[in-house]
Amino acid sequence: MIGGVTREARRVRVTLALPFPNAPIEDELVRLIHEAVEPLAAEVDVEVETIVMDEERRRDFLEHARPQRRAPSSINVKHVLAVLSGKGGVGKSSVAGLLAGALQRRGLKAGVLDADITGPSIPKLFGVSQRPGGSPEGILPPETGTGIKLISINLMLQSEDEPVIWRGPMVGKAIEQFWQSVAWGELDYLIVDLPPGTSDAPLTVMQSLPVDGIILVTSPQDLAGMVVRKAANMARQLAVPLLGLVENMSYVECPECGARIEPFGPSRAEDTARHAGVGLLGRIPLDPRLAVMCDEGRIEEYQEMDFAAVVDEVLELTFEDTKRG
Amino acid sequence: MIGGVTREARRVRVTLALPFPNAPIEDELVRLIHEAVEPLAAEVDVEVETIVMDEERRRDFLEHARPQRRAPSSINVKHVLAVLSGKGGVGKSSVAGLLAGALQRRGLKAGVLDADITGPSIPKLFGVSQRPGGSPEGILPPETGTGIKLISINLMLQSEDEPVIWRGPMVGKAIEQFWQSVAWGELDYLIVDLPPGTSDAPLTVMQSLPVDGIILVTSPQDLAGMVVRKAANMARQLAVPLLGLVENMSYVECPECGARIEPFGPSRAEDTARHAGVGLLGRIPLDPRLAVMCDEGRIEEYQEMDFAAVVDEVLELTFEDTKRG
């Protein structure tokens, strides 16, 4: 990250190249440089200048800065994508479910790891309630109608109404098990559905799973945007690449007169994406038909033009990623 | 909880009265009774029958079963109400904010403790960004335009985009501090805004704060209903009284033609309330005007008929609670 060191007489200028503007660790890094050169204070005056890396350098930096999170050799999963928001109820699980459904329809093998331990939605969206089986290779994830492999704590409870009253460390352990002890087999994409917040679950996923990229989900509220920016900054601090942003619930069409209503206020997708420093993957409407299909466990059957474009984008971005790797 | 013991020759029948049908501890209690009478196995056959308590007995039971969570003597807060859902994005913070606003308007003194550490919304809803001050009595909570006292982690961050990447134990500690170390002064109602899930934050609030009652919030999706039932069961397991359920985002009115659209599918408020074993406090519509006022930090100014009825109900329920105490 040291972009250069120049010296003119007593004056030494250190250039620190940061991957992002306002990187949260900026102050700390500057302090560390000053601390390191403190013994030279009698001889020189050190000045630290910060610049932002260009695209190429940043990519290279992140590639190396990222901790190596390797899958157990038995796991043959090509891509791990996590759906994150920070904010609750913006449709993370719907986006995770729609994405898995679309990938599967396109002939790829998809799985969904429900990392929302205390508010798991995935089994219900897919209408799956079968208990996972056992095998010498590990826990066998049940499959949906189209063959998507699912794992969720809700498949292991006696009743879906049973609360999982666990403090954070237990939540983290369960997620690690869902990754390591499940016989995922060969998958092209494993989609990880994260709970709201920036606490144990996303922290464990970002630290312990080989996440290739994060899809951020937001709703049109400014409030949601703020929490999404927090989540984006979390991903940066943990050096996990952000694929882009999906704005959900952008508008609803009146079935009577066709008017476009914006129940959460006007879209801020462009703004939120820019402030979060990511690209906009797409906007998807609030569709009562989707709500009903989710409640009926038929999310796989839902097809929508706007979302197809999001899937194209994700495929392109992760394919590029494969080429780079 | 022992409702009676009868004996006919060798046959002893123990009646176990449970506060709720399908109480999660039922199997465990039955097992404990069998274990306790094991030494008598040579003389008698013990049969355990479970029944559900009637309303009066249940109230009495919960009154006594509840752990005593006392406030420090310096805190003079008459009622602590927590807004819980389990599910994210159903409008817990809006309900907390609207409730505080309505109470304040009715001449009561209200405060809001934002227990959502990783996704705090309260300061933004009220347009407050002032840092809490210090005093010999503790942290001084900033006040909103109408004098509602607020505390939130977001008031303590350098930037609202900064993520709080804390594992559970830190989250619990912060919430305890918000209760114990804040100079709340005299309040009629302190509203606690909980994050989604049934992990550290709600667990800490229910275990460490003297919560008088919980207001459950849901949206019309069946999915939300399921997670809300988990939250209701959590409250029962921790013996914290449930005041009732608010269904948010029930419908949106088309501004063009006045049609009532149900973007999350048809209301299930009655069903969800019944399944969660609580009364329905009210339904509130999805109002684009509220979304805009929330984004503008003017939630205090929002007044809506449907919500006024919810407030009446809450006041009545907690007044009864006061009389009982």
Interchain CB contacts (distance < 8 Å): A and B? 226
Contact yes or no for B119 and A259 at CB 8 A: no
Contact yes or no for B119 and A160 at CB 8 A: no
Name beta bridge partners: B186. B76
Nearest residue on chain B to A219, alpha-carbon basis: B89
Query: Which residues from chain A sit within 8 angstroms of residue B262, using beta carbons?
Result: 288
DSSP of A235-288:
HHHTT--EEEEEE-S--EE-TTT--EE-TT-S--HHHHHHHHT--EEEE----H
Q: How far is B161 from chain A (nearest CA, A)?
A: 5
Minimum-distance CB partner of B233 among A162, A229, A257? A162
Report the C-alpha gap between B276 and B225 in whole angstroms: 8
Minimum-distance CB partner of A254 among B231, B256, B287? B256
Q: How far is B63 from chain A (nearest CA, A)?
A: 22
Q: How large is the average pLDDT for residues B219-243? A: 93
Q: How far is B28 from chain A (nearest CA, A)?
A: 15
Contact yes or no for A222 and B262 at CB 8 A: no
Lowest mean pLDDT among A264-268, B94-98, B208-212, B227-231: A264-268
Contact yes or no for A223 and B90 at CB 8 A: no
Query: Which residues from chain B sit within 8 angstroms of residue A222, using beta carbons?
Result: 124, 295
Q: How far is A235 from chain B (nearest CA, A)?
A: 10
Minimum-distance CB partner of B254 among A231, A233, A257? A257
Query: Which residues from chain A sit within 8 angstroms of residue B286, using beta carbons?
Result: 263
Query: Which residues from chain B sit within 8 angstroms of residue A90, using beta carbons?
Result: 88-89
Nearest residue on chain B to A236, alpha-carbon basis: B163
Contact yes or no for A162 and B230 at CB 8 A: yes
Query: Which residues from chain B sit within 8 angstroms of residue A200, using beta carbons?
Result: 167-168, 199
pLDDT of B26 > 90? The answer is no
Reported confidence tier of residue B50, pLDDT bands at 50, 70, 90:
confident
pLDDT of B320 > 80? The answer is no
Reported confidence tier of residue B191, pLDDT bands at 50, 70, 90:
very high
Query: Which residues from chain B sit within 8 angstroms of residue A164, using beta carbons?
Result: 198, 230
pLDDT at A194: 97
Minimum-distance CB partner of B167 among A86, A116, A168? A168
Minimum-distance CB partner of A124 among B22, B226, B234? B226
Minimum-distance CB partner of B291 among A121, A166, A264? A264
Q: How large is the average pLDDT for residues B150-156? A: 96
Q: How large is the average pLDDT for residues B240-264? A: 93
Reported confidence tier of residue B223, pLDDT bands at 50, 70, 90:
confident
pLDDT at A2: 82
Contact yes or no for A117 and B275 at CB 8 A: no
Q: How far is B85 from chain A (nearest CA, A)?
A: 10
Report the C-alpha gap between A80 and A98 in whole angstroms: 16
Contact yes or no for A252 and B256 at CB 8 A: no
Other CB atoms within 10 A of residue B246 CB: 31
This model of the complex carries an ipTM of 0.77
Query: Which residues from chain A sit within 8 angstroms of residue B237, using beta carbons?
Result: 163, 165
User: Could you report the average pLDDT of every consecutive run of 10 residues in chain A (325 residues)?
Assistant: 84 84 70 84 86 78 58 76 95 97 96 97 97 92 98 94 92 95 95 96 95 96 91 94 95 92 90 92 92 94 90 86 40
Minimum-distance CB partner of B198 among A89, A118, A160? A118
Query: Which residues from chain A sit within 8 angstroms of residue B119, using beta carbons?
Result: 86-88, 196-198, 227, 230
Q: How far is A319 from chain B (nearest CA, A)?
A: 30
Query: Which residues from chain B sit within 8 angstroms of residue A203, using beta carbons?
Result: 165, 167
Minimum-distance CB partner of B234 among A165, A198, A223? A165
Query: Which residues from chain B sit within 8 angstroms of residue A238, using beta carbons?
Result: 165
In the chain, the amino acid numbered A244 is G
pLDDT at B324: 37
pLDDT at A31: 83
Query: Which residues from chain A sit within 8 angstroms of residue B294, using beta carbons?
Result: 221, 223
pLDDT of B322 > 50? The answer is no
Per-residue HEC secondary structure of chain B comes to CEEEEEEECCEEEEEEEECCCCCCCHHHHHHHHHHHHHHHCCCCEEEEEEEECCHHHHHHHHHHHCCCCCCCCCCEEEEEEEEECCCCCCCHHHHHHHHHHHHHHCCCCEEEEECCCCCCCHHHHHCCCCCCECCCCCEECCECCCCCEEECHHHHCCCCCCCCCCCHHHHHHHHHHHHHCECCCEEEEEEEECCCCCCHHHHHHHHHCCCCEEEEEECCCHHHHHHHHHHHHHHHHCCCCEEEEEECCCCEECCCCCCEECCCCCCCHHHHHHHHCCCEEEECCCCHHHHHHHHCCCHHHCCCHHHHHHHHHHHHHHHHHHHHC
Query: Which residues from chain A sit within 8 angstroms of residue B160, using beta carbons?
Result: 226, 229-230
Minimum-distance CB partner of B199 among A118, A231, A286? A118
Lowest mean pLDDT among B7-11, B74-78, B87-91, B246-250: B74-78
CA-based nearest residue to B267, from A291, A101, A25: A291
Mean pLDDT, rounded, of chain B: 89
pLDDT at A324: 37
Interface with chain B: mutation pick from A90, A200, A286, highest number of B CBs within 10 Å:
A200
